[in-house]
């Protein structure tokens, strides 16, 4: 079938994009020193045909980390590394956003500077949560998270400043936009949810108080980039790493209204049922989000081109983000455009390693064998 709507240009805030096929943030764990390099330049450059590339989640500070081999944006070397990546994407006509990440309690002392405790809204361990650590023998693997300590009230402005500084570095590196990661049971999501936020100060309790810190982060990033170049990713209704929430819909609607007042470029909603997608959102939820948020809406979660086209055509979303299909199909938009078959990804090479399963997937070019 022809996917006409999927390939119409649109705007995300003040950024014009040529199509509605967004590359979702994908952690690939291939920066052992936390500094992006030539492999990342090749990988993202290959995928420059996306309407917008959203980078893999990028740690805003040393204490934001929960997974080794993930990139950062708090040092000069990291900033320079990302600048090389952005230049590679821009050279091929692409557009790129940096996703700003703090894992909160999804971490362990082995990943933290000087072996300190991870931080969170409250001192509650994520039951069943796993982080990714490097062991004494030099190998790496999953490890249960440790019990975090609750952030003191007077520490929170310092983390807001970490986000601001990360945004400053992202701007100097040349990114077109930034995306605030407030999803998937990480720090900002932990503040939003009732099950992980048991605070009694101005950052806990009511809906407005639980949203205060995430909105302060958004405001700090807006000060750097302008609201029309800032997006946010959220996962309403998610239950992950022990996170639960008694008011997911009310919080999603409140955040949408507050973000709309700020003129945010886009709201990126990740559907937490990665096996199916649709069933996790109540009837009418998408329509109500459209009413409450004036910027662009992006949805992500096990979509194919046909479902994406349907969502855009019915005006419940403006663009759709694709994750796993982008791993194995660097030219995903073009494959959708001509109804070409998709390459299946090798799950064994999702995380860690070298170019294998990273930059060596074939492009479509008649015989489907051209490399980038």
| Rounded distance between C-alpha atoms, residue 353 and residue 258, angstroms | 41
What φ, ψ does residue 130 adopt, rounded to 5°?
-125, 140
Cα–chain center distance at 230: 12
* CA dihedral sign of residues 349, 65, 246, 235: negative
Residue for token digits 């009837």? 283
Q: Six-digit token pair at 69? A: 């081999």
The span from the CA of 292 to the CA of 146, in Å, is 38
SS percent in the chain: helix, strand, coil, step 5: 35, 20, 45
Q: How far apart are CA 61 and CA 116, in angstroms?
A: 14
User: What value, to the nearest 5°, has the Cα angle with vertex 69 and ends 63 and 72?
Assistant: 50
The residues annotated with a catalytic role in the active site are 186
Decide if 203 contacts 214 (C-beta within 8 A): no
Q: From CA 35, how far away is CA 227, in angstroms rounded?
A: 27
Q: Are strands 119-120 and 149-150 parallel, antiparallel or unpaired?
A: parallel
Please compute Rg for the chain using Cα positions: 19
d(C-alpha 109, C-alpha 125), whole Å: 13
SS3 label, residue 259: helix
How many CA atoms, within 13 angstroms, populate the side-chain half-sphere of residue 203?
24
Distance, CA of 24 to chain centre? 7
Report the alpha-carbon distance of residue 299 to residue 133 in Å, rounded.
31
């Amino acid at each position: 079938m022809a996917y006409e709507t999927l390939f119409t240009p649109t705007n995300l805030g003040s950024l014009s994009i040529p199509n509605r096929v967004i590359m979702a943030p994908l952690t690939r764990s291939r920066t052992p020193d936390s500094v992006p390099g030539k492999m990342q330049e090749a990988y993202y450059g290959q995928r420059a045909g996306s309407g917008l590339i959203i980078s893999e989640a990028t740690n805003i500070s040393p204490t934001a980390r929960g997974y080794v081999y993930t990139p950062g944006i708090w040092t000069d070397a990291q900033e320079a590394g990302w600048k090389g990546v952005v230049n590679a994407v821009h050279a091929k006509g692409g557009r790129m956003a940096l996703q700003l990440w703090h894992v909160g309690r999804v971490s362990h002392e082995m990943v933290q500077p000087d072996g300190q405790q991870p931080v969170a809204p409250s001192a509650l361990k994520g039951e069943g949560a796993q982080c990714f650590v490097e062991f004494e023998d030099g190998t790496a693997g999953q490890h249960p998270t440790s019990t975090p300590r609750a952030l003191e009230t007077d520490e929170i402005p310092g983390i807001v400043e970490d986000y601001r500084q990360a945004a400053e570095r992202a701007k100097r590196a040349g990114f077109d936009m930034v995306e605030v990661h407030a999803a998937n049971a990480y720090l900002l999501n932990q503040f939003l949810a009732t099950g992980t936020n048991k605070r009694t100060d101005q950052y806990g309790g009511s809906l407005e108080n639980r949203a205060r810190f995430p909105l302060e982060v958004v405001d700090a990033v807006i000060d750097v980039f302008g609201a029309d170049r800032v997006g946010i990713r959220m996962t309403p209704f998610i239950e992950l790493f022990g996170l639960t929430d008694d008011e997911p819909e009310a919080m999603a609607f409140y955040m949408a209204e507050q973000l709309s007042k700020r003129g945010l470029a886009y709201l990126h909603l990740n559907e937490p049922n990665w096996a199916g997608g649709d069933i996790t959102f109540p009837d009418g939820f998408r329509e109500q989000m459209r009413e409450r948020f004036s910027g662009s809406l992006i949805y992500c979660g096990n979509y194919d081109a046909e479902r994406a086209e349907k969502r855009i055509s019915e005006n419940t979303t403006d663009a759709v983000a694709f994750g796993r299909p982008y791993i194995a199909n660097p030219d995903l938009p073009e494959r959708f455009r001509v109804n070409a078959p998709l390459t299946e990804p090798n799950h064994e090479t999702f995380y860690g390693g070298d170019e294998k399963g990273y930059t060596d997937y074939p492009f479509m070019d008649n015989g489907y064998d051209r490399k980038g």
